[in-house]
Structure 1
Amino acid sequence: MNARARAERIGQVWEQLCGDVPYGSLIAGQVRRGEGDAVTILDPASGDQLLHYPDAGAQLARDAAQAAERARHSWYRDISAVQRGRVMWQAAQQVRACIEELAELEALSAGKPIRDTRVEATKVAEMFEYYAGWCDKLYGEVIPVPTSHLNYTQRVPHGVVAQVTPWNAPVFTGGWQIAPALAAGNTVVIKPSELTPLSTVALGCLLQKAGVPEGAVNVLAGLGGTTGAAMFAAPEVQLAVFVGSPETGRVIARAAADRLIPCILELGGKSANVVFEDADLAKAAGGAAAGIYAAAGQSCVAGSRLLIQKSVYEDVLARLADKAGGLRMGPPETPETQVGPLNGAAQQRRVLDYIDRARQAGARVVCGGQAESPGYFVQPTVIADVRNDWEIAQDEIFGPVVVAMPFEDEQEAVRLANQTRFGLAGAVWTGRVERAHRIAGQIEAGTVWINGYKTIGVMSPFGGFKESGYGRSSGREALMEYTRARSVWTETSDDPTMAFGY
């Protein structure tokens, strides 16, 4: 399938999900064309032009925030929590009914293998099912205060939430953020990456078909500097959420601080995959391959640093190189494809530049390391004998590249694992249960796997330490992020004492 055929198929799937409307933004229940300059999307699998759409622009961003403000009452105050849960459940079923269409739209427009996008679209349905059950369980507490008052707390929504999601998993991260926000009673304005907006707009259309009120979920297709900036500046917005790079995360955090509103940041990672000599080395090599080469390494939790005990260092490298060489690269719509293209030319150049500089510094390229064409492909790559202070071991590359380093003992493994400014995830491979839990307890990361990698479930909290961000975007903890505590005091005495002072 060439770029023209992919573009035609994208148009057909878009019409099935969103109706006979041009590519644009979902605002107050209607898909509207943007008002700014044209944004061109290139086909990652060929490098040719795929489609274009107009940037939403500042006015549409303000319209979206106002629509979300108007929808707040109908979503939170005018219906019960039980009713809200039923709508969330119907949203999940609507997504389930359209998993194939969502997966195909994501694969063709974002360049991800369809075997991956099917899983991610299914997880979106799971998110809405999980949070549907939480809608009527956001309990407060009764506080045993030392006065004659009945004091209790309530969990109340922030109101309008502004969210930005990245290009590497747009429909997945879109559902990951929208579902808990809605369950808590908020309304949403979300801006996916300008490179991959279509699947999130389609998701918004499906939510409306399920009964989510018009304006409760608004999706902006546009650029960060125009549309995104106007969205975060809207006075209706009371919570800022960003998933992406630390550099942009700092910009979002400053914008939120200027407005004195809270912020949730899920940022990058440089996760350590630690393999001890007593591990099942075949499983460890397979887990290391899946941890870095899935999504062509374009994942914030990718296991991009492989720490191997010296006695099995070469053995694990050989096993991993064998796994990497056997992976099937190809176009995203082909079911057999395991590793698809990178998102664009700039990302491909970035990855190849890191590989070249590591080679020049003396690293050993065990396998891969080359581009493949047409499109923006990079071979699954293993780079050995890297020092932990090199840029390739410290920077998030966002490509199918793993760097390997040997270690002597537990102390050195933990030191190397934690010598990074990131703290999103990590893993430990060992046959000793006491070592597994001991090392997992010392890794400075928000998620740690033992004898596995990259398992994520909506019921478990997800987020980072250090420069990987703050706040949590799944599990019960996400509902705490998307709500605020209100304290209510009720006097119960017939003859209350009037308090003075603070």
Structure 2
Amino acid sequence: MSKNAENLLAAFQHFFPNAKAIGSYVGGELIEGAGEAIQLFDAATGEESLSYKDGGAAVVEQAAAAAERAQKQWWALTHAARGRVMFEIAREIRKEAENIARLESLGSGKPIRDCRGEAAKVAEMFEYYGGWADKFYGEVIPVPTSHLNYTRREPAGTVLQITPWNAPVFTCGWQVAPAIAMGNAVLLKPSELTPTSSIIIGMLCERAGAPRGLVNVLAGLGLTVAQSAIAHKAVKKVVFVGSPATGARIAEAAAKRVLPCVLELGGKSANIIFGDADLKRAALTAQAAIFAGAGQSCVAGSRLLVQRNVYDEFVSMVAAGAKKIKVGDPLDDKTEVGPINNRRQYEHVMSMIDKGVAAGATLASGSQERSIAGYFVSPTVLAGVTNEMEVAREEIFGPVVAAIPFDTEDEAIAIANDTDFGLAGAVWTTDVGRSHRVAAQVNAGTFWVNGYKTINVASPFGGYGLSGYGRSSGVEALYEYTQTKSVWVETAKEPPTAFGYL
């Protein structure tokens, strides 16, 4: 067993002392799969780590039954009681935050300092939605009849949530918290590459007082576990975070059962820098926008649009800073950028750098040389890019930014919108009017002015176009996890009838 495998298993056993392997967390129990072996790898070395068995259709059947039982118990509680349990979940997460962060870093290859921040944010998510549990309610509608007409916000029932490998614990909390706040049960299917931290969140929900089976975590492959879950009659809604191609397949499968979906997909976001901006602050933020998390973020500022009169100066600033960023061991507190999560993605990122250079872009920072050990990619700035190049159109999902020049405001907006994606964007300028004009005209679900990548659970998040549909946070997420029932109560002493016989 490799060192990473030993460390990962030990971190997992902090929560499950008797565990010999990773499994699905179903109905309050850790269940080992019976399918094919899934091999995990240490992203920092490329060596084999733990392996575990695919859960398959059998684990979905168990989880669905557990979820239906738990959802009835959960919905039978008062709204305030559910809110109190959610605050207890947050307390459990905060209490275990360092252990969760270590497990996340070992399992995903993310820097430990990032993982600590994400564990804290997950606790905040349960607190935020715990506060909403008894404050989201229906309305009384003044209909033009003698009826009392009111609406009820009711849970969907059991919700399937499919989350990615780039931010496992963050997206787990991002989806689970609003779903259970509204009275739903959850089948959570994390990426087969990063199942461990999500399993822990499921367990901590029950430790805090949620019914056994309210949050079930399915460890396994998309082709077996996810497909079986989408087809299961217990599932009433599907939420997916990941690539557009996979999202389209999931939406197609869900449509066969007329299941509603929320899809949070990819991005190719434009970070627009005008010549009058605070260039130093913009350069620092531009680095964080693309290089944090090794660029494995759907909202990464992967297209850097810079006004031509400051283009050379600004790109040089960003490239010089990129060369100073500490890339290395995820468990080192000083590491700022860790490895790419898996070899397939690493090869994609490196091939995109090669394509960019072949198309005429120049390496202002970074390298085309492959990592000797692990899946490390140096923070890379591609200069001289045009928006027609593949590196400007396809999501790279790595620490690679394409710097594109522009001349006018109209041109910047046109380039920003010349993409199939619409997840995020930003503008840097001291011209207040311009900042609002650009924010209004760029097609993106989230947009920042003189900043980038500020995300909070209280603010709605989602995309336009190929970046998906539906919203995964803020009050708007509560509408996604409920359905509206209209109730009509006749109040007249002698209401009229259209016809009828006695």
TM-score range, shorter chain: over 0.9
- Which of 155, 173, 176 pairs up with 2:174? 176
Task: Tell me which residue corresponds to 1:485.
Answer: 484
Query: Are the aligned partners of 1:372 and 1:379 in contact in 2 as well (CA < 8 Å)?
Result: no
Q: Number of residues paired by the alignment?
A: 498
Query: Are the aligned partners of 2:355 and 2:390 in contact in 1 as well (CA < 8 Å)?
Result: no
Task: Tell me which residue corresponds to 2:402.
Answer: 403
C-alpha separation in 1, matches of 2:306 and 2:138: 47
Query: Are the aligned partners of 2:9 and 2:50 in contact in 1 as well (CA < 8 Å)?
Result: no
1:344 Cα deviation after fit: 1.5
Does 2:381 match 1:393?
no
Provide closer, same or farther for how the CA distance between residues 159 and 306 of structure 1 changes in structure 2, counting only shifts above 3 A: same
Query: Are the aligned partners of 2:101 and 2:112 in contact in 1 as well (CA < 8 Å)?
Result: yes
Matches within 5 A, 1:350-369: 350-369=348-367
C-alpha separation in 1, matches of 2:392 and 2:17: 46
Task: Tell me which residue corresponds to 2:44.
Answer: 45
- Which of 189, 198, 201 pairs up with 1:191? 189
Task: Tell me which residue corresponds to 1:274.
Answer: 272
Runs of 4+ in 1 over 3 A off after TM superposition: none
1:8 Cα deviation after fit: 1.7
SS at the partner of 1:259? Answer: coil
Does 2:446 match 1:447?
yes
C-alpha separation in 2, matches of 1:83 and 1:419: 48
Deviation readout 1:225-275 (Å, 9 max, x if unpaired): 011110111100000000000000001101111001110000000000000
SS at the partner of 1:279? Answer: coil
One-letter code of the match for 2:481? Y
Query: Are the aligned partners of 1:325 and 1:380 in contact in 2 as well (CA < 8 Å)?
Result: yes
1:207 Cα deviation after fit: 1.0
Query: Are the aligned partners of 1:17 and 1:206 in contact in 2 as well (CA < 8 Å)?
Result: no
Task: Tell me which residue corresponds to 2:457.
Answer: 458
Deviation readout 1:319-369 (Å, 9 max, x if unpaired): 000110010000110000001000111111111111111111111111103
One-letter code of the match for 2:159? V
Query: Are the aligned partners of 2:267 and 2:298 in contact in 1 as well (CA < 8 Å)?
Result: yes
One-letter code of the match for 1:374? A
Query: Are the aligned partners of 2:37 and 2:53 in contact in 1 as well (CA < 8 Å)?
Result: yes
Does 2:31 match 1:32?
yes
C-alpha separation in 2, matches of 1:476 and 1:187: 19
1:19 Cα deviation after fit: 3.3
C-alpha separation in 2, matches of 1:499 and 1:151: 20
Task: Tell me which residue corresponds to 2:371.
Answer: 372
C-alpha separation in 1, matches of 2:358 and 2:457: 42
1:500 Cα deviation after fit: 7.2
Provide closer, same or farther for how the CA distance between residues 365 and 308 of structure 1 changes in structure 2, counting only shifts above 3 A: same
SS at the partner of 1:50? Answer: strand
Question: Structure 2 regions of 5+ residues with no counterpart?
Answer: none
C-alpha separation in 1, matches of 2:202 and 2:240: 18
1:372 Cα deviation after fit: 2.8
SS at the partner of 1:133? Answer: helix
1:67 Cα deviation after fit: 1.1
Query: Are the aligned partners of 1:26 and 1:204 in contact in 2 as well (CA < 8 Å)?
Result: yes
C-alpha separation in 2, matches of 1:50 and 1:344: 12
Deviation readout 1:86-114 (Å, 9 max, x if unpaired): 00000000000001001000001110000
Give the superposed CA RMSD: 1.1
Task: Tell me which residue corresponds to 1:142.
Answer: 140
Query: Are the aligned partners of 2:159 and 2:187 in contact in 1 as well (CA < 8 Å)?
Result: yes
One-letter code of the match for 1:57? G
Comparing 10-19 and 255-264, the one that deviates more? 10-19
C-alpha separation in 2, matches of 1:29 and 1:499: 55
C-alpha separation in 2, matches of 1:333 and 1:70: 40
One-letter code of the match for 2:351? D
- Which of 342, 345, 348 pairs up with 1:344? 342
Query: Are the aligned partners of 2:27 and 2:216 in contact in 1 as well (CA < 8 Å)?
Result: yes
One-letter code of the match for 1:336? K
One-letter code of the match for 1:276? F
Task: Tell me which residue corresponds to 1:104.
Answer: 102
Provide closer, same or farther for how the CA distance between residues 273 and 212 of structure 1 changes in structure 2, counting only shifts above 3 A: same
1:6 Cα deviation after fit: 2.5
1:378 Cα deviation after fit: 0.7
One-letter code of the match for 2:392? A
Task: Tell me which residue corresponds to 2:430.
Answer: 431
One-letter code of the match for 1:468? S
Does 2:226 match 1:254?
no
C-alpha separation in 1, matches of 2:202 and 2:86: 13
Question: Structure 1 regions of 5+ residues with no counterpart?
Answer: none
C-alpha separation in 2, matches of 1:315 and 1:388: 20
C-alpha separation in 1, matches of 2:193 and 2:392: 27
- Which of 144, 155, 158 pairs up with 2:156? 158
